[in-house]
């Protein structure tokens, strides 16, 4: 019985060494060209989700709801790309949308929100220009 356990352990160690050597010789690519585009698409989807959550937070300001709904549609149809400059712009836009969500939760009638919306529109224009 002891020999069976030893044989099983040797087999398991042998298989582990085989796969370890195989991974060292041929490592999997972590990020491919398609992966960059997928990451860009996820950032766009996250921005849309942020705006949708802001729309849920707004209770009485119809003008702000309308503006955010149009902004959501603009962002929804942005093209995912694998450009490093666009990635930086997308990250800035996401950060500004997070800040906007916090500001809306405090006071939906704040003038700061409108300035943040203008910044996001500027990021969208800058993003379009970089393509």
pLDDT of 31 strictly over 50: no
Q: How far is CA 22 from CA 1, 14, 18, 19, 58, in A?
A: 32, 12, 6, 5, 55
Round to whole Å and give the CA distance between 24 and 39: 26
Which among 83, 88, 92, 55 is positioned nearest to 71, based on CA atoms?
55
The number of domains in the chain is 1
Percent of the chain with pLDDT over 90: 67
**Average pLDDT estimate for 5-18:** 86
Identify the residue with better confidence: 89 or 14. 89
45 falls within a domain: yes
121 falls within a domain: yes
38 falls within a domain: yes
Domain hosting 120: range is 31-130
Q: How far is CA 18 from the centre of its chain?
A: 36
The two structure tokens encoding residue 55 = 């729309």
125 falls within a domain: yes
* pLDDT tens digit sequence for 51-107: 999 999 999 999 999 999 999 999 999 999 988 999 999 999 999 999 999 999 999
57 falls within a domain: yes
78 falls within a domain: yes
Round to whole Å and give the CA distance between 96 and 83: 20
92 falls within a domain: yes
119 falls within a domain: yes
């Amino acid at each position: 019985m002891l020999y069976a356990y030893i044989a099983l352990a040797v087999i398991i160690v042998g298989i582990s060494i085989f796969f370890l050597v195989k991974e060292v010789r041929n490592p999997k690519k972590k990020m491919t060209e398609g992966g960059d585009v997928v990451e860009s698409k996820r950032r766009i989807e996250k921005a849309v989700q942020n705006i949708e959550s802001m729309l849920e937070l707004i209770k009485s300001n119809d003008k702000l709801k309308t503006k955010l709904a149009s902004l959501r549609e603009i962002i929804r149809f942005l093209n995912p790309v694998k450009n490093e400059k666009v990635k930086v712009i997308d990250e800035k836009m996401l950060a500004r949308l997070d800040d906007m969500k916090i500001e809306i939760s405090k006071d939906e009638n704040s003038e700061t929100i409108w300035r943040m919306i203008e910044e996001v529109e500027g990021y969208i224009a800058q993003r379009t220009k970089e393509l």
